[in-house]
Amino acid sequence: MHLFTEYVNPHLGRLLETLNMDKRFVRGEGCYLYDAEGRRYLDFVAAYGALPFGFNPPDIWAALREVEASLEPSFVQPSALQAAGELARRLVSIAPAGLRYVTFANSGAEAVEAAIKAARAATGRMGIISCDNSFHGKTLGALSATNRTSYQKAFGAPVPGFVRVPYGDLEALERLLRERGEEFAAFIVEPIQGEGGIVEPPPGYLRAARELCREHGVLFVLDEIQTGLGRTGRLFACEEEGVTPDVMVLAKALGGGLFPIGAMLCTEEVYTEEFAMKHSSTFAGNTLACRAGLRSLELLTRDDQALIRQVAENGAFLKSGLERLQERYPHVLRRVRGRGYMLGLEIGVDRTTYGRTCLLGVLAEQEALTPVLSSYLLNVCGLRVAPTLNGSAVIRIEPPLIATREQCQAAIDAVERMLVPLAAGNTAELVSHLLGIESRPQVLPAPAPRLLPEPDGDPAEGRVAFLVHPVDLRNYPEMDESFKVFSTDELARLSERFNDLLEPFVAGSARVRGQNGRRVFIDFVVVPRTAEQLMALPRAEAVAQVRAALEIAKKRGARLVGLGAYTSVVTRGGLSLKDAGVPLTTGNSYTVVSAVEAVYMAVERLGTRLPEATIAVVGATGSIGRATAILLAEGVGRLVLIGNPSHPDASRRRLLKVAGDAIAHLAGLAREGHRFAPGTIGHRLIALGPLPEEGAAPEAWQGLAGRLEEAGALAITTEIDAALPSADLVVTATSSAEDLVTPANLKFGAAVCDISRPPNVSRAVKDARPDVLVIDGGVVEVPGRPDLGWYFGFERGLAYACMAETMILGLMHHYEDTSLGTDLNLPMIRQLRHWAGELGFRLAQLRSFDRPLSEAEWAELMAARSRVLSPAGDD
């Protein structure tokens, strides 16, 4: 771990590590930085404008060494500070006319604090007006004037008295001043919003705002911390409109890139004795800072401001080159903003940009795309840039003022290199450097922007959401097609990084129409963790991840939310989310329906006689396994219930309860007049003699289960390798991510219905056991086969049964908790089967290992079985 991460800021340090931006720079010279490995980087951040002359400018060092040589004292307050007086005089001489006094500070934020205090002291008013999207610093007063709730909330900001108006909106400012002008001491505004995304106001805005403030006795404060001292191609940005403020704050460039210093300049009318005698700072106005400031001003104003004129010329060249790129890549680079060496690239990517599943749109919506692009520019192109703090879609281009035209061209070339994969939606190209590998060429479909469906507001239309996650690493190329070039190991490493970058997100939406005309609108919300990753998290953290996705669904208007795959497992079948404020379903009831139907379909095609068959249910104590075992017990000759081997004694008790429930169900059918086929468990149950009365204690049914176990009709075990070789049919329904069913533990000619996700059947079975039929349980065809927009390897219109249950409940406006916990309700299972038929949901074509089972594959299966089985049908 880097010392910065260990001892300074672990949270930022880990983020920098995730993005490969945790460089240890060991040398800086001019516009270049050098890392510990000797690689050179062109720095176009310039410490957000604080490095006007690049790194280690010799002239500024010379000024500091002159202080050392002269032994001029630095911290001698209270006394007449010579260096501070000289710097103040020089600032007043070059500042807009009318600014008379200078109060020094140690940073821009401190200078803003001084401006707020001076304005309040001068006017006797406490109110401060700032702008939406503004940034003025992170000390409490400056933070209160800043427009970023995420920066403010934890610190009790904004404090009372701060009000905001839209930036560039004169009518809003005039309305506020007309209605409440007497409350406000000052209006603080940036000539160009820096952290807000390099936003320029309409022409004439600053001048008109200044006049409005004057009319209402409100002081006009210009924050030139980032724009001032040459950054925009003018000494001060306000010169563009010839505006003279009442107060102006400076910092960043004033220290020449070596020493922190800020300054608040104000008119004689603003500077009061109250402020002068009660505002001070131990370090402000110190000799080293002021000598650095004097030398900086000397360099900036030398030869009739030759350096600043060069910034204007080269800035125009840089902006023109970037604007040509915008014309070439308009669907991803929306616009180029700013002037001089204060430019911003507005990235215009969202979920609709590419017309296919692409995580770049998700990263953009979560304000993580520009950091990833900045990382690519740094690591691949050797160009150091950074996103703006408030304008998360904007990459700032702010080189040192000494940057040459050649360096500007190098930056243009680097940006184009980044835009090529961005325009193609090639996420893999943009993140390969995070894995330490070279990018691999690939051909992707051309971007085809498309509109996403939206709810129409009709109360007759159901509103639901379904939570999904990548079941395993094989799903990542389905989340983003470009990831197909990565190996499994590379996907594993990438997913670990993305876990720190991605929050739950809406991956798609769809409108489903039942064949009876009912409609439902469904959002698919992704928890970006694999099943294995979710299970590895502490339970509280895993539940928090699911809850975050649930909150997104609620905000989108869902009246019922389905918990897909392991979002159900880690929340105890939804029970941990009962307080979520929205009905939930695990979808397990309809999953049982589809699994039983898939088994019956396979049995029919294979010609297997159920009364003579043994069915093994792996994971029989889970909600799906339990209900599936109960329903399959109706027609099978022998039932094997297999539990978790990690806790054999507890598993046996739970398995015995499931067996008792199955026997009670069969007894109920018998009371209703159901006739069981000879050889079935039900038939053998009747032969045992009088059955307990309805509502008998569980122990009575479990006792009968024990007798059937002794008779060989039932088996309860945790030894899967010993049990499966006797099973003609196997159903897997576990929450394990392991390969539990292998070529070695299957009976000859067996059939397996794998409901588990991730699958429990080893892929080795496909090649090693051609005699075995493996079908994926729980896949259904949605009526009308709509484009669901989000799926894991399915053809259009197919969905997992748990997802389909969410749709069915929404179509029927059944907004109640359903299928929660482990004891599924058999009447609700039958109700869902009825609704599914009414609406047009049906079992999909038999699938094997995530793909449809073709007739050719079926023929190969039957041929393999016939080659092995003797004419008599014995092994």
The catalytic residue positions are 135, 223, 252
Distances from the Cα of 590 to the Cαs of 83, 297, 697, 802, 828, in angstroms?
Answer: 80, 75, 28, 6, 9
- How many Å apart are CA 54 and CA 44, to the nearest integer? 10
Q: Which residues make Cβ contacts (< 8 Å) with residue 338, sequence separation at least 6?
A: 192, 198, 200, 232, 319, 344, 397
Amino acid at 295: R
Residues 6+ apart with CB under 8 A from 750: 724, 727, 728, 729, 730, 772, 773
Q: CA of 14: how far to CAs of 20, 72, 385, 555, 762, in Å?
A: 10, 43, 19, 30, 36
Q: Which long-range contacts (CB under 8 A, 24 or more apart) does 644-651 make?
A: 644/718, 645/718, 645/719, 645/720, 648/718, 651/621, 651/718
Range list of β-strands (E), 39-140: 40-43, 99-105, 127-131
Going by C-beta distance under 8 Å and a sequence separation of 6 or more, which residues neighbour residue 642?
616, 617, 618, 619, 620, 655, 717, 718, 719, 720, 723, 724
d(CA 513, CA 505): 25
Closest CA to 91 of 308, 301, 307, 304: 301
Angle between helix 205-215 and helix 170-180 axes, rounded to 10 deg: 10
- CB burial class (10 A; 0-12, 13-18, 19+) of residue 538? exposed
Tokens of 457: 């507001």
Which backbone phi and psi does 492 adopt, to 5 degrees? -65, -45
| Integer Cα distance of 720 and 617 in angstroms | 10
Structural element, H or E, at residue 35: strand 32-35
| Number of helical (H) and strand (E) elements in the chain, helices listed first | 31, 31
Segments in 451-509 forming alpha helices (H): 476-479, 488-501
Closest alpha carbon to 454 in 568, 326, 557, 577:
557
Task: Give the DSSP per-residue string, 676-701.
Answer: PPTTSHHHHHHHT-PPPPTT--HHHH
Instruction: Decide if 428 contacts 442 (C-beta within 8 A).
Output: yes
In whole angstroms, how far apart are CA 669 and each of 664, 702, 831, 869?
9, 17, 17, 36
